[in-house]
Amino acid sequence: MTSIRRRAALAAALAAALAGCGFHLRVPQTLNFDRIALSGFADRSTMAEEIKRALPEGSHIVPSVLDAQVVIEALIDKRETLVEAQTAFGQVRELELHVRLRYRVLRPDGTELLPPSELERYRDLTYNETDALAKDTELTALYRYLQSDMALQLVRVLSALGKPDGPAARIGATLAASAALPTPAAASTAASAAGPELVPGAAATH
């Protein structure tokens, strides 16, 4: 019984620590619209795929802006891998993963519901050429993990929007967008605390 209580306390502490750094458990959100179009994303964008997965039940992506109630327009959708440390012989020892989404939310007629806002995540990853295949698999899984978290934050922003045809359409959305952007240090700390074992699909390629 003591062991059960101890595990429960550790789980609660971890959840509180992650929440404090901008990471949250998956909680169903309620949106005031159900038809959403994505614009400006590259073909086969992994960020767009994570947004589709993060949408709550009852909301879905439509192929045409004309069929949508709101449009998420990607102004910048990129992920990059930077070399943070290497040996004197040029062998890579540490990488930094960087994911960035700059976006805005519009009505189908182009009226802006939410001005340009940003979501950003960072994560450091140790690297060793002798274990390149496993590290590449881990890198892919971590990118998906970071983008999944960003997609959930974006859904929280959308949930703060009023009905797209109502007078209070923008109430709370700008504040929600600001709160959804943690500092790079906080995001890196939270991701490190989560560790690869908490990354969904870490053992599989994407």
**What's the pLDDT tens digit per position in 168-201?**
555 555 555 655 555 444 444 444 444 444 343 3
Q: If pLDDT is split at 50, 70 and 90, which confidence band does 81 have? A: confident
Backbone angles phi, psi at 69, to 5 degrees: -95, -35
pLDDT tens across 115-124, in order?
Answer: 999 999 988 8
Q: What is the mean pLDDT of residues 200-205?
A: 38
Q: What is the CATH number of the domain that holds 100?
A: 3.30.160.150
Give pLDDT, residue 40: 95
Residue 8 lies in a domain: no
For the chain, how many residues are written?
206
Structure tokens at 135: 């590290």
- Write the single-letter amino acid at 150: M
174 CB-contact burial (10 Å; exposed 0-12 / middle 13-18 / buried 19+): middle
Residue 18 lies in a domain: no
Overall number of domains in the chain: 1
Structural domain boundaries enclosing 34: 26-198
